[in-house]
């Protein structure tokens, strides 16, 4: 059920302010969600005034600079710094995006950073994605076939068939979409969420896959699929310009069409 | 170790974003229209209750405060209708690209305002009678 208020242990209390050093040239104010699991205290929002004149242009550069020069305990995931690993997904100025592909200059002087919304927090900006990954696994994101492959070559696709799955297959599982979805906030225990459904769609329309019927059967459920109310936050935030909302609409259409 | 906190959602997400704004408005207007049905039920019961009951209801519902309520319900209806048509198009698999849904959000907001203004003008100038 929809729980609009945060539980008591999740409400944000106070925070620490780190002032910029004297003589700073270009100061930006980072307000960053902090949670330390060892302290037993509630989460807080710390303020960091950072001189960004010496660091790279992206939000991730700012975070790395804070960790290196102000507070080494600041915890966040990052890896590729070029938008392909999906590790540094977080809520930046109210919208889910990748810290590594978001320029500080498009955000203004104040940059507010929270973990992906409505997720269990491991520490600071690191959410627990266990359930998100389990939902991805539940759509069986691999090729399923009955017929044996051709003895002398791979299972081939036409160019058009490949183009069908080109975009959906580019998902990096950063979880920006699912954690931007209010339906997922309120029903993540039963609604699969846009990322898992986009993955399901990618295999449903794969010309080589032979489990299309079973895949559709598995999704024909009031919660797994039909909690999508076309709010469109998923497509709005996807850092790879993919379209989970359209994928879900297409699955819904296929379920209707196969009834006739 | 203490239980993991839930990260903030409604309090940090950008609620005036075109996606959320149109969706929340659609839900809210739907709720208001459902409540408005109660007034319709009262009116229908008054119609069934004979001339005296109807005269009493007509006097009550035609009163000053209700005139404002009717206008509000009209605005709510105009928005819910336009937003519903947008959902109908979406359900056919069309208009779901990001630029399209952004454009249709503004279309719904402006379209429903125009529809409301037209309906209100028509009712208030008495041309319908």
- Write out pLDDT tens, residues B45-87: 999 999 999 999 988 888 888 888 889 999 999 999 999 999 9
Residue identified by tokens 């329309």 is A205
- CB–CB of A242/A172 below 8 Å? no
pLDDT at A2 over 80: no
pLDDT at B1 over 60: no
Q: Say yes or no for a CB contact (<8 Å) between A37 and B90.
A: no
Buried b (16+ CB within 10 A) or exposed e, A86-101: bbbbbbbbebbbbbbb
Phi, psi of B69 (to 5 degrees): -60, -40
Domain spans, chain A:
8-127, 130-257
- Write out pLDDT tens, residues A94-128: 999 999 999 999 999 999 999 999 999 999 999 99
- Write the CA distances from B119 to A7, B65, B80, B128, integer angstroms: 45, 19, 14, 10
CA distance, residue B101 to nearest chain A CA (Å) = 8
Output the six-digit token pair for B102. Answer: 């952004």
Confidence (pLDDT) at B60: 87
Phi, psi of A47 (to 5 degrees): -110, 125
CATH superfamily, domain A8-127, is Beta-grasp domain (3.10.20.30)
- The partner residue sitting opposite B12, judged by closest CB among A40, A117, A241, is A117
- Write out pLDDT tens, residues A140-187: 999 999 999 999 999 999 999 999 999 999 999 999 999 999 999 999
CA distance, residue B91 to nearest chain A CA (Å) = 6
SS3 A182: helix
CATH fold, domain A130-257, is Fumarate Reductase Iron-sulfur Protein; Chain B, domain 2 (1.10.1060)
Confidence (pLDDT) at B85: 98
pLDDT at B127 over 90: no
Buried b (16+ CB within 10 A) or exposed e, A140-151: beeeeeeeeeee
Question: How far is B2 from A10, CA to CA, in rounded Å?
Answer: 11
CA distance, residue B46 to nearest chain A CA (Å) = 38
Inter-chain CB pairs, A–B, below 8 Å: 110
Burial of A109 (0-12, 13-18, 19+ CB in 10 A): exposed
Confidence (pLDDT) at B129: 52
Question: How far is A74 from A55, CA to CA, in rounded Å?
Answer: 17
- Domains contained in chain B, CATH given: 18-122 (1.20.1300.10)
Phi, psi of B65 (to 5 degrees): -65, -35
The rounded mean pLDDT for chain B is 92
Output the six-digit token pair for A51. Answer: 């001189």
**Which of chain B's residues have a Cβ under 8 Å away from the Cβ of A245?**
90, 96, 101
Question: In the beta sheet, which residues pair with residue A112?
Answer: A31
Question: How far is A175 from A90, CA to CA, in rounded Å?
Answer: 9
Q: Say yes or no for a CB contact (<8 Å) between B14 and A95.
A: yes
* Radius of gyration, CA atoms only, chain B: 20
Output the six-digit token pair for A130. Answer: 């266990």
- Whether ipTM tops 0.90, in short, is yes
A123: Cα separation from own chain's centroid: 17
**Which of chain B's residues have a Cβ under 8 Å away from the Cβ of A9?**
2-3, 5
Q: Say yes or no for a CB contact (<8 Å) between B17 and A94.
A: yes
**Which of chain A's residues have a Cβ under 8 Å away from the Cβ of B18?**
236
pLDDT at A71 over 60: yes
Same fold, A8-127 and A130-257: no
* A260 confidence band (pLDDT: 50, 70, 90): confident
Q: Say yes or no for a CB contact (<8 Å) between A12 and B17.
A: no
CB atoms within 10 A of CB A38: 8
| Residues counted in chain A | 260
Question: How far is B75 from B122, CA to CA, in rounded Å?
Answer: 13
Output the six-digit token pair for B48. Answer: 């069934």
- The partner residue sitting opposite B87, judged by closest CB among A9, A115, A230, is A230
SS3 A28: strand
Q: Which of A123, A117, A120 is nearest to A37 (CA)?
A: A123
**Which of chain B's residues have a Cβ under 8 Å away from the Cβ of A4?**
10
Residue identified by tokens 């503004």 is B106
Question: How far is A186 from A91, CA to CA, in rounded Å?
Answer: 18
CB atoms within 10 A of CB A153: 7
The secondary structure of A16-62, three-state, reads CEECCCCCCCCEEEEEEEECCCCCCCCCEEEEEEEEHHHCCCEHHHH
Question: How far is A145 from B41, CA to CA, in rounded Å?
Answer: 57
Residue identified by tokens 């691999």 is A142
CA distance, residue A181 to nearest chain B CA (Å) = 9
- CB–CB of A112/A31 below 8 Å? yes
């Amino acid at each position: 059920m929809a729980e609009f208020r945060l539980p008591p242990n999740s409400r944000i209390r106070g925070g620490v302010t780190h002032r910029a050093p004297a003589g700073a040239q270009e100061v930006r104010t980072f307000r960053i969600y902090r949670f330390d699991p060892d302290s037993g205290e509630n989460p807080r929002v710390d303020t960091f005034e950072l001189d960004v004149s010496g660091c790279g242009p992206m939000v991730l550069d700012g975070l790395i600079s804070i960790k290196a020069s102000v507070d080494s305990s600041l915890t966040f995931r990052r890896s590729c710094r070029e938008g392909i690993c999906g590790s540094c997904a977080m809520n930046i100025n109210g919208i889910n995006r990748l810290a590594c592909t978001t320029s500080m200059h498009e955000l203004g002087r104040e940059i507010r950073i929270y973990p992906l919304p409505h997720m269990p927090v491991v520490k600071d900006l690191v959410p627990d994605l266990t359930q998100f990954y389990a939902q991805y696994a539940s759509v069986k994101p691999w090729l399923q076939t009955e017929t044996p492959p051709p003895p002398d070559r791979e299972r081939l696709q036409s160019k058009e068939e490949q183009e069908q799955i080109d975009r959906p297959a580019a998902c990096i599982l950063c979880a920006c979409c699912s954690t931007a979805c209010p339906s997922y906030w309120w029903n993540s225990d039963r609604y699969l969420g846009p990322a898992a459904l986009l993955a399901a769609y990618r295999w449903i329309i794969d010309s080589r896959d032979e489990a299309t019927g079973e895949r559709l059967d598995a999704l024909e459920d009031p919660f797994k699929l039909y909690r999508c109310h076309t709010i469109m936050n998923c497509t709005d935030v996807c850092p790879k310009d993919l379209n989970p909302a359209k994928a879900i609409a297409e699955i819904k259409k296929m379920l209707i069409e196969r009834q006739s | 170790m203490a239980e993991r906190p839930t990260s903030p959602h409604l309090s940090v997400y950008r609620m005036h974003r075109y996606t959320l704004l149109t969706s929340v408005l659609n839900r809210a207007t739907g709720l208001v229209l459902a409540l408005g049905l109660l007034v319709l039920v009262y009116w229908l019961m008054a119609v069934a209750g004979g001339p005296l009951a109807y005269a009493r209801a007509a006097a009550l519902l035609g009163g000053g405060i209700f005139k404002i309520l009717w206008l509000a319900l009209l605005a709510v209806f105009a928005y819910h209708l336009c937003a519903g048509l947008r959902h109908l198009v979406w359900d056919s698999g069309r208009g779901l690209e990001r630029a399209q849904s952004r454009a249709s959000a503004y279309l719904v907001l402006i379209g429903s305002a125009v529809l409301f203004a037209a309906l209100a003008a028509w009712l208030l100038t008495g041309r319908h009678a």
